[in-house]
Amino acid sequence: MRVRDNNKENLVKLKAMEMIINNGINGFSMQKLAKACNISVATLYIYYKNKDDLIFKLGIEQGEKMVKASLKGFSPNLPFNEGLKIQWENRTNFTFKNKLSSNFFEAIQHTIYGEEISKNITAMFSPIMKEFVNNAIKNKQLKFVSIESYWCVAFGPLYTLLNFASKGKSIGNRPFKFSKKIMYETLDYVLIALKP
């Protein structure tokens, strides 16, 4: 039986994410991946059952990494303003430090894999965030709104800024450079909007 090689496995993950980002799911295959890694297709099957298994496991692994980074220094018992600020900082740091991972999530988000991977990530993250929101409502630090409205107002502006940053352009193709100043300015407006 062939032994797993951590270096090869990490190369496979890296190349798989790069290929999916650059060519999409439909342009990705185990044969192309093996060629890009300069290994045999049989070697890939030491690590993964098939293409679906590879993409799903890669998505879950990257999702766990993102959740862990998002929860650094965070507690559901924090005051709402402080907790949301930490969430914005953590998500921003993760996005900038893990561009490959962030772009991979973007590439698979609207595919057959995206929904299932999203369910798993939500299961890890949701109970903590739900407790945080419920505490904030109970403590009269947050107005009660639907979950969809909450997410759009609480995180939509951050992801819009991060999207501008990844393109280097904002509305009307204006040059855009991300800064903490603009992030905190936007967060101030979000906190005003969500205040009871």
CA distance 150 to 144: 8
Judge contact between 130 and 151, C-beta under 8 A.
no
CA distance 126 to 117: 14
Does the pLDDT of residue 1 top 80, yes or no? no
Does the pLDDT of residue 43 top 80, yes or no? yes
pLDDT digits (tens, 9 = 90+) for 78-134: 999 999 999 999 999 999 999 999 999 989 988 999 988 999 888 989 999 999 999
Looking at the fold, whether 174 and 144 belong to one and the same domain comes out as yes
Does the pLDDT of residue 150 top 60, yes or no? yes
Does the pLDDT of residue 7 top 90, yes or no? no
- Residue 155, in any domain of the structure: yes
Tokens 């936007």 map to which residue? Answer: 186
Judge contact between 28 and 89, C-beta under 8 A.
no
- pLDDT of 2 reads 58
Looking at the fold, whether 165 and 78 belong to one and the same domain comes out as yes
Share of the chain above pLDDT 90, in %: 88
Tokens 């999203």 map to which residue? Answer: 118
Judge contact between 183 and 88, C-beta under 8 A.
yes
Looking at the fold, whether 114 and 149 belong to one and the same domain comes out as yes
Domain containing 34: what range? 6-48
Q: Calculate the CA 98 to chain-centre distance.
A: 9
Looking at the fold, whether 64 and 104 belong to one and the same domain comes out as yes
Does the pLDDT of residue 5 top 80, yes or no? no
The three-state secondary structure class of 106 is helix
Looking at the fold, whether 182 and 125 belong to one and the same domain comes out as yes
The three-state secondary structure class of 7 is helix
* Mean pLDDT, residues 155-173 taken together: 96
Per-residue tokens: 66: 């993102």
Looking at the fold, whether 151 and 174 belong to one and the same domain comes out as yes
pLDDT digits (tens, 9 = 90+) for 17-37: 999 999 999 999 999 999 999
- pLDDT of 67 reads 94
Share of the chain above pLDDT 70, in %: 98
Output the CA–CA distances (angstroms, integers) from residue 163 to 28, 61, 76, 185, in the order listed.
Answer: 24, 23, 27, 17
Into how many domains does the chain fold?
2
- Residue 53, in any domain of the structure: no
